Chains A and B, each alone.
Chain A
């Protein structure tokens, strides 16, 4: 686990704080705005940022994130640009972890072997590949380990118990639990149903658990955070940003979506969530 992700979760744990993870597609709606949006998200209460790598064929994404990818590609945003954005973000923010999320082919084209070190040099902390299970990482997996880039693994509602064990024993950073069978932005999330699968992950691993897919507002975030250490808000945020006409508006919109979620998470009464044993 790299310093920033580890520190982020341990600080949060000490403070009984839920980790809030917004997702934005790099370069959407305007490549010039992404870094400012990232700062605005942090200022509004985000703890960790997931930055989407635009891809032409995002099989696991719904229309909202797919269109965001298309907009970014139209503006010629490639993986090199994404790393530059993180580099620029790091000039003003050295603590907030950044996890890149995307698909395999842009990484292959950049160079699977050279990407992880380039990413960590730029200040990236983790990589979540939607279409690349652990077993298929090949040389990329080795290079990630060498570079100290966390490989964030997904666990889905369909993942078998024995596979959960395999995944968790190879994962680093945190575990991303996909809250329902479906694509990003879809579905009616059933937060009640999260208890068993999240507990199963915790049986095998002490890594923090983030839950994502379908969390749209503060109320849903709170319901999810009853079970999880971190909540991811993706499509809802991307959808809002798509309508922004200026950089300033985009930052304000991002903040006004994230701030109430932050506030609701901080107002959660329990202060302890399953799997967390320390109280402060």
Chain B
């Protein structure tokens, strides 16, 4: 049985105006304020509706395949030579990543709100695929915005979305990656606000998205908490998750926030190295500003122009981050580190060879850090790494980096 959607824990909710401390808010054009009010109201209502919750639980169980297992990576742990490394297997979900937990929730909400058209932005294509999948099942028309650069490097996912019946629109402005896709989706939403539901793919954007996307992904942390207690009769000593916008990390962290002894570590993309400027580490190397509807940490230049980012993994290639992470960083409840392209690739190969599990390049960032961390810990301790997605989508990238043509 799957838990209810999380009940309020006042101290960990955004305030009435959508702020986690100094971060969050609704930095959007006036035209969208009404739509956000409507969304807040609908979400507040349906999340407590018995039928909605039951349908959500059924879909998560029978369609997504939840609960996802916790796997003890024995060989990996032996090589690390320290703490036990456990993996939360979000890679085993339908469509291959945690993203579907959220699109299932938002798609269903759109359905209950009577919206027949959904739009989404995507970077790696994982969220786009997850949105297109749910739209197909709920008979919603689906438009996905994707940067031209990402369309190039994730051609397989583009075709997957089209097979699912979604329309994929390329975005050529700016850096032609995820941030620009998000701008374009916002423009679509402003224009078609009456009949369109915007399915945002991470814990960023204007209130109530950061809270709502977190809640839909919190099933990851709730399951993990219960599973770890069943397995070892104790909570893990540390949680490790990669952070692009931050949805898989928030989903894992959230149910553990009150467990003060559990360390929470978010891993950002250091790309070619923080010192090169070619990275996507907004929390580690950025500062507070306003992007895509919220006040949060971001990467910008001295004029306040948003910078182009770099990561080998398209899903982490984003110059902002969810506002709740900014807040967890400032309060010190979570800490944030970064891992380079090379380290992530090494972790990709390591897990593939040692455990026969091919991780997404995004998740490989978490694995790389989790491995280092475990090596410095005691054998009676444990590290839980969120394996947010599987690596099938990245095979092309990995081959190209090795100089191979598939």
Contact = CB atoms under 8 A, between A and B. Distances in A.
Interface of A: 54-60, 62-63, 66, 70, 73, 76, 78-79, 103-110, 130-133, 135-136, 153-160, 163, 167, 178, 181-183, 186-187
B187 A108 contact: no
Contacts of B32: 158
B290 interface: yes
Interface string B19-30: 000000111111
Contact of A178 (B30, B194, B288, B292): B30
Contacts of B305: 54-56, 73, 105-106
A106 B30 contact: no
Given A59-B187, A181-B191, A109 B174 contact: no
A59 B33 contact: no
Nearest to B38: A158
Counting from the closest, the 5 A-B pairs by CB-CB distance are A109-B304, A106-B304, A78-B303, A156-B31, A158-B34
B31 A178 contact: yes
A57 B304 contact: no
Contacts of A54: 305
Contact of B193 (A110, A154, A181): A181
A130 B183 CA distance: 14
Interface in B169-183: 173-174, 179-180, 183
B305 to A, nearest CB: 4
Contact of B25 (A78, A136, A159): A136
A157 B31 CA distance: 7
A178 B28 CA distance: 14
Question: Chain B interface residue count: which class?
Answer: 35 or more
Nearest to A76: B303
Contacts of A56: 174, 305-306
Contact of A130 (B29, B300, B306): B29
Nearest to A134: B30
A106 B303 contact: yes
Given A105-B289, A158-B33, A186-B191, A63 B173 contact: yes
Contacts of B298: 105
Contact of B290 (A79, A108, A153): A108
A156 to B, nearest CB: 4
Name the prevailing secondary structure of the A interface residues: loop
B291 A105 contact: yes
B190 A182 contact: yes
A60 B291 contact: no
Contacts of B288: 108
B290 A131 contact: yes
B35 interface: yes
A102 to B, nearest CB: 10
A191 B305 CA distance: 35
B17 interface: yes
A180 to B, nearest CB: 9
Nearest to A112: B290
Contacts of A182: 31, 190-191
B304 A159 contact: no
Contacts of B194: 181
B280 to A, nearest CB: 15
Given A70-B173, A109-B302, A109-B304, 4 more contacts: A57-B180, A59-B187, A131-B29, A132-B290
B70 interface: no
A76 to B, nearest CB: 8
B186 interface: yes
A113 to B, nearest CB: 14
B302 A105 contact: no
A136 B190 contact: no
A112 to B, nearest CB: 10
B369 to A, nearest CB: 29
Contacts of B304: 55, 78-79, 105-110
